[in-house]
Copies of this chain bind each other. A is one copy, B any other.
């Protein structure tokens, strides 16, 4: 089996399936596709949706990109000594999505599933023949504006079910990694939302081989629509006030702060000549920044804020 082809095909089929399900849920807007080519190698399919019945802005993007390992990457990759002086090349393929609904009772969601490969360019034929490293990463996290325990339990429960089919330690570990990653450190460690799962640098081993990690990524990817769309269906027709929309836009400010100040993927993309519009599609459509905004203690807004300051165990 050609692992690379298998993963790329999966990512593209996942993109198709998710986009179709989201369009059906929205009932009005459709995705517009921009194909792009990376001068250094590879490219992507950016699919964006805007001004729908449900989704104010969103993107479901895939990319399959490759290149030579630059000095800047070499430091970041922390290569084993035997590869320090070798010419290396890399390949990465993944799907990344962010959806910003109009209705403040429908949560924003983000997910990303990816595979990374590293090759010794001097080996016969390079590419797959010279593979020296491979890892998987991904995750899905939810950013509600109002906290419904049912929704949080359903979302976390869906990913726990997937995780438990692979390893009972995964959900607690990856749930904590998610809580520890989407953090606005400059805001008293306030989380972006109520989390989900997050894993990275998962290398195939004798007990968990490449098929295992590929199947796990696919299991998580396939669970996205089950985890998210029932929440959308349930909340999308709730009526809301201008004050509730205002609160959503304040929270979107925190989302913007996290993505521009802390998110490793965003900053890596901005510093390495990534396709800017595909990277920054994650930013919310309308955002408010107000000086020292504080929700009323004990309000529904405060309840959400407290769950972001002190992550809860939903299962």
A186–B274 Cα gap in the complex (Å)? 9
A256–B285 Cα gap in the complex (Å)? 13
**Contacts A276-B187, A277-B291 given; does A286 touch B286 at CB 8 Å:** yes
Minimal Cβ-Cβ distance residue in B for A48: B291
A8–B283 Cα gap in the complex (Å)? 40
A249–B34 Cα gap in the complex (Å)? 24
Is the Cβ of A280 less than 8 Å from the Cβ of B270? Answer: no
Contact mask A273-288 → B, CB, 8 Å, 1/0?
A: 0001100110111111
Contact mask A155-194 → B, CB, 8 Å, 1/0?
A: 0000000000000000000000000000001110000000
A50–B289 Cα gap in the complex (Å)? 11
A291–B280 Cα gap in the complex (Å)? 8
Minimal Cβ-Cβ distance residue in B for A269: B186
Residue A57, interface by CB 8 Å? yes
A271–B185 Cα gap in the complex (Å)? 8
Is the Cβ of B276 less than 8 Å from the Cβ of A186? Answer: yes
For residues 245 through 279 of chain A, which have their beta carbon under 8 Å from a beta carbon of chain B? Answer: 249, 253, 256-257, 260-261, 267, 270-271, 276-277
A285–B267 Cα gap in the complex (Å)? 24
For the complex formed, measure the closest distance between the CB of A231 and the CB atoms of chain B, giving whole angstroms: 24
Q: Hey, which chain B residues are within 8 Å of A48, CB to CB?
A: 291
Minimal Cβ-Cβ distance residue in B for A283: B289
Interface residue tally of chain A, by bracket?
20 to 34
A285–B281 Cα gap in the complex (Å)? 20
Q: Select A57's contact among B256, B261, B290, beta carbons within 8 Å.
A: B290
Minimal Cβ-Cβ distance residue in B for A280: B289
Is the Cβ of B291 less than 8 Å from the Cβ of A59? Answer: yes
A50–B290 Cα gap in the complex (Å)? 9
For the complex formed, measure the closest distance between the CB of A64 and the CB atoms of chain B, giving whole angstroms: 21
Residue A292, interface by CB 8 Å? yes
Is the Cβ of B50 less than 8 Å from the Cβ of A291? Answer: yes
Minimal Cβ-Cβ distance residue in B for A253: B283
Q: Select A277's contact among B285, B287, B292, beta carbons within 8 Å.
A: B292
Contact mask A282-314 → B, CB, 8 Å, 1/0?
A: 011111111110000000000000000000000
Q: Select A260's contact among B256, B276, B292, beta carbons within 8 Å.
A: B256
A-B contact pairs, 23 of them (CB 8 A): A34-B292, A50-B290, A50-B291, A57-B289, A57-B290, A57-B291, A59-B291, A185-B270, A187-B276, A256-B260, A256-B287, A256-B289, A257-B260, A257-B280, A261-B261, A261-B270, A277-B291, A280-B289, A281-B291, A285-B288, A286-B288, A287-B287, A287-B288
Q: What are the 6 A-B residue pairs with the smallest beta carbon separation, nearest first?
A: A283-B289, A260-B260, A186-B270, A287-B287, A277-B292, A48-B291
